[in-house]
């Protein structure tokens, strides 16, 4: 793999992380399962999240084929897909370290409040951008 393909993959990885890491209901659910130590269902949920991202990323990249050349766009997509898998596995299994923090119901309320604030700000931003 030459340097430009690796650079394209890392660009896809970084771009994807900026979209995936934003706290939302899906991430909170994966975090909750990880904190609760629900290993069997956790890996299933992580794989569903990551594969659904992979499908959406691939479909999106295939749709902008006229904009990007064939090889770089797929390396970008590969980087973005790697970011999705990395994030969901890190979130799901790294959540164990946060178990003491989330043992208190107040911590979940704060997280839910942050998620609500992010979702409202995204919605307002989209509405403001349309108007």
Read off the pLDDT of residues 58-105 as tens digits, 9 standing for 90 and up.
888 777 665 566 556 778 788 888 888 999 999 899 888 988 998 999
The closest of 127, 5, 129, 24 to 74, measured between CA atoms, is: 5
**Residue 37's domain spans which residues?**
3-130
Dihedral pair phi/psi, residue 22, rounded to 5°: -55, 125
Which class for 59: exposed (0-12), middle (13-18), buried (19 or more C-beta within 10 A)?
exposed
The predicted structure's pLDDT at residue 37: 83
Separation between Cα atoms, residue 37 and residue 52, nearest integer Å: 23
The predicted structure's pLDDT at residue 68: 60
The predicted structure's pLDDT at residue 44: 93
The predicted structure's pLDDT at residue 129: 80
The predicted structure's pLDDT at residue 47: 92
Q: What is the pTM of this model?
A: 0.63
Average pLDDT score over residue span 33-45 = 89
The predicted structure's pLDDT at residue 107: 92
Residue 115 has pLDDT above 90, yes or no: no
Predicted confidence (pLDDT) per residue in 5-31, tens digit: 888 888 888 888 777 877 677 888 898
| 68 DSSP 8-state letter | S
Dihedral pair phi/psi, residue 69, rounded to 5°: -75, 160
Output 77 or 130, whichever has higher pLDDT. 77
The predicted structure's pLDDT at residue 42: 92
Number of domains in the chain: 1
Separation between Cα atoms, residue 80 and residue 83, nearest integer Å: 5
């Amino acid at each position: 793999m030459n340097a430009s393909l690796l650079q394209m993959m890392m660009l896809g990885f970084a771009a994807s992380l900026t979209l995936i890491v934003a706290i939302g209901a899906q991430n909170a659910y994966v975090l909750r399962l990880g904190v609760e130590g629900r290993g069997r269902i956790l890996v299933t949920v992580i794989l569903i999240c990551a594969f659904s991202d992979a499908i959406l990323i691939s479909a999106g990249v295939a749709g902008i084929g006229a904009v990007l050349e064939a090889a770089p766009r797929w390396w970008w997509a590969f980087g973005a897909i790697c970011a999705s898998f990395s994030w969901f596995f890190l979130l799901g299994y790294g959540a164990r370290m946060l178990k003491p923090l989330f043992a208190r119901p107040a911590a979940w309320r704060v997280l839910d409040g942050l998620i609500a604030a992010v979702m409202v700000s995204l919605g307002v931003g989209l509405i403001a951008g349309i108007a």
